[in-house]
Amino acid sequence: MQPKTLYDKHIDSHTICKLDDQGHVLLYIDRQVANEYTSPQAFSGLREAGRRVWRPSATLGVVDHVNPTSAVRTAEVADAGGARQVSYFGENCEEFGIELFDILDERQGIEHVVAPEQGYILPGMVIAAGDSHTTTYGALGAFGFGIGTSEIEHLLATQTLVYKKLKSMRVLVRGALGTQVTSKDVIMALIGQIGASGASGYAIEFQGPVIDAMSVEARMTICNMAVEAGARGAFMAPDDKVFAYLAGKPRAPRGALWDAALARWGELYSDPDAHFDLEVELDADTLKPMVTWGTSPDQVQSIDGQIPDPESEPDLLKRMDMQRALRYMDLQPGTPFSEIPISHAFIGSCTNSRIEDLRMAATILRGRRVASGVRAIIVPGSTMVKHQAEAEGLAQQFIDAGFEWRQSGCSMCLAMNDDVLEPGDRCASSTNRNFEGRQGAGSRTHLMSPVMVVAAAIAGKLADVRDLFAEQED
């Protein structure tokens, strides 16, 4: 039998039939997660065509994009359009028999945080959802990818999608991570290395000792942001850490079903001689904490660097992109990152808002306070994460240091609720995208890990978390 990659195994096991000789297949989808922002037209299309949802139990509805994240939990959405999205989503879930975690549900949160913590995503599954960061689920040995509204409608009606098979890429991360260098730095370094379109047309499998050593939540960060390199899928082979993470989760199998699942999940890996269309290596020994300087995730350097000079870029189009980015970001070539002041610091999003992110961020505080003039906000990834952080005393540490402690939701990652930056505001952010206007019209975003966000909040400017950590150790 010909050796197969893990991606081949995912797709082949879910292919109902081949549709042509160009790689299109009819693909069975195990589960999907729907939200209030990308689903309305799909449900309207079903209703207008007189169709029902084929398998309601395969869909989980989560309110996360437009809900308020104010300190006091409320179901009131100030924006009329957002309020209608939430109410219409509730109506659709009720009519079509879909389970819903609404704003006041104790399980509510960002869909890509909620689904794993509920055990809704399991190894070997193929997951599709109306959000590009559905790639997050690859950390559990599943294969997840984002789809558009018309595809959501087709999926709800048939539990299938027309899918074109991708090429396969293996990213081997060698070495070991240094002090305060995180999985966020790994994926940002990869994006900087291969570019924002370097993985277009590929599904990425991450391998190597660095990946093996990571926690499941750290792996989620890598899979989440792989889409920023153009990948439409990213995953790691499931291992004992994944199995331990899933054990006892509300939706995970139990008893004899659990034993049978473990036996099956143990077969989910790329065969030793499997062929990958592209191989990329990353040396973790040389990695440092990373920060973006421009308006694309691939415009990134280590924190000890400086703003690059577009004139040194030989490629005309890249040079023009750099010039545009620096105009928007109001930055001058040669400026050290450590001299760039910030007005805001934000920890949140489906990339970095899990309990491990908050635990790591809290270790940098140690009696320190947010700098004067900086507004620092923490939005936990789910209500369960929020409660856990409060129970562990993390929330109070953040509050005592001057951070705002909020309810769960997408929040300032994409500025669809009240959490919006003003023109000219500059934010140190643990989110996944630094596009123009992503956090508010005219706002400026620097992507980094949660511990780097804390360092910037304390310093009042972009700062190297390793310096603060070294001070603690002295």
Mean pLDDT of 393-417: 96
| In the predicted structure, residue 474 carries a pLDDT above the cut 80 | no
Are 247 and 312 in the same domain? no
CATH number for position 310: 3.30.499.10
Q: Does residue 305 belong to any structural domain of this protein? A: yes
Choice among 72-81, 202-211, 350-359, 398-407 with the minimum mean pLDDT:
72-81
Give the CA dihedral 399, 359, 348, 211, nearest 10 degrees: 170
Looking up tokens 């595809």, which residue turns up? 151
Q: Let me know the angle formed at the C-alpha of 214 by 168 and 251, rounded to the nearest 5 degrees.
A: 80
Of the residues 251, 278, 305, the one at which a domain ends: 278
How many CA atoms lie within 13 Å of 426's alpha carbon, on the beta-carbon side? Answer: 20
CA distance 358 to 355: 5
Q: Is residue 417 part of a domain?
A: yes
Using the 3D structure, point to which of 278, 298, 321 is the last residue of a domain.
278
Q: Does some domain include residue 405?
A: yes
CA 69 to chain centre: 18
**With a threshold of 0.95, does the pTM exceed it?**
yes
**Residue 283 is assigned to a structural domain of this protein:** no
Domain extent for 61: 6-278
The answer to whether residue 284 is domain-embedded is: no
**pLDDT of amino acid 116:** 98
The string of pLDDT tens digits covering residues 363-386 is: 999 889 999 999 999 999 999 999
In sequence order, the β-bridge partners of residue 427 are 344, 445
Number of domains forming the structure of the chain: 2
For CA atoms 437, 439, 440, 442, give the dihedral sign: negative
Are residues 255 and 303 part of one domain?
no
Cα–Cα distance for residue pair 113/99, rounded to 1 Å:
17
Neighbouring-strand partners of residue 17: 26
| Residue 78 CB-half CA count within 13 A | 7
Domain end: 250, 278, 306, which one? Answer: 278
445 and 466, same domain (yes or no): yes
Please write the tens of the pLDDT for every residue from 297-318. 999 999 999 999 999 999 999 9
129-174 pLDDT, tens per residue? 999 999 999 999 999 999 999 999 999 999 999 999 999 999 999 9
| Strand, coil or helix: 249 | coil
Name every residue whose Cβ is closer than 8 Å to that of residue 185 and which is 6 or more positions away in sequence: 177, 287, 288, 289, 290, 449
CA gap 72, 275 in Å, rounded? 53
